Amino acid sequence: MITHSIFPSGAPYAHFTHCPRCGKASLGKIENRAIQCTECDFIFYFNCASSTAAFIFHQDKLLMGIRGKDPQKGMLDFPGGFIEFDETAEQALAREVEEELNIKISSATYLTSVPNDYIYADVLYKTTDLYFICGVEDISNLKAMDDVAGFRLALPEEIDPQCLAFESGKKALQCLLEYLNSHVK
Ligand SMILES: [Zn+2]
């Protein structure tokens, strides 16, 4: 169903006012997922962006990056990032961890996925964040790079969720703690 109400601010399509194909101010929306032009029938769906994140352990401690850029600059976050076109989640995970922390992961086991809201330059991106438990053979070259300003190591049960940058990270950490309680002991 197409509705013609003013797009609410904060919605993924809030900044779209004119049809990208015919240029007319004739956009409606399909639920909260797509824009549709009433003049030329152009339709564009806003799909979830896929993102990866790594739970990397070093001597029982979990490795986190300190965000060097907005959104959530200065907050803690698990290493990872967006999956690029034609890339697998595992490839994106390995690439992002190496770009951010200068270390290579040796294994990646899928744990869970969590939906997230990621606001960049005043635009909301709905994301699906995929969390993996990762092994690393060597962290002697560990170094904060790219958009990471530093790193922290902490026992997972001692991490304050309020210090984590994103809601998805908080939920995934909870999932990790439940997994560790049920599998490791
Ligand atoms: Zn149009």
Q: Two tokens at 118? A: 């990621």
Distance between CA atoms of 91 and 106, rounded to whole angstroms?
12
Put simply, whether the predicted model's pTM sits higher than 0.85 gets the answer yes
Q: Which amino acid is at 51?
A: S
Q: What are phi and psi of 90, to 5 degrees?
A: -65, -40
Q: Tell me, in angstroms, the distance from the centre of ligand 1 to residue 15's CA.
A: 16
Q: Tell me, in angstroms, the distance from the centre of ligand 1 to residue 7's CA.
A: 17
Tell me the per-residue pLDDT of 137-175, one tens digit each, with 9 for 90 and over: 888 899 988 888 999 999 999 999 999 999 999 999 999
Q: What are phi and psi of 147, to 5 degrees?
A: -95, 20
Q: Two tokens at 133? A: 């438990």
31 falls in which pLDDT band (50, 70, 90)?
confident
| C-alpha distances out from residue 93 to 16, 35, 41, 51, 107, Å | 31, 31, 38, 9, 10
Using an 8 Å Cβ cutoff, are 164 and 174 in contact?
no
Q: Tell me, in angstroms, the distance from the centre of ligand 1 to residue 22's CA.
A: 4
Exposure string for 81-112, b = 16+ CB within 10 A, e = fewer? bebeeeeebbebbbbbbbebbbbebeebeebb
H helix or E strand, kind and range, residue 21: none
Whether the per-residue pLDDT at 4 is higher than 50: the answer is no
Q: Tell me, in angstroms, the distance from the centre of ligand 1 to residue 34's CA.
A: 13
Question: What's the confidence (pLDDT) of residue 15?
Answer: 80
**Domains in the chain, ordered, with CATH?**
1-46 (no CATH), 49-183 (3.90.79.10)
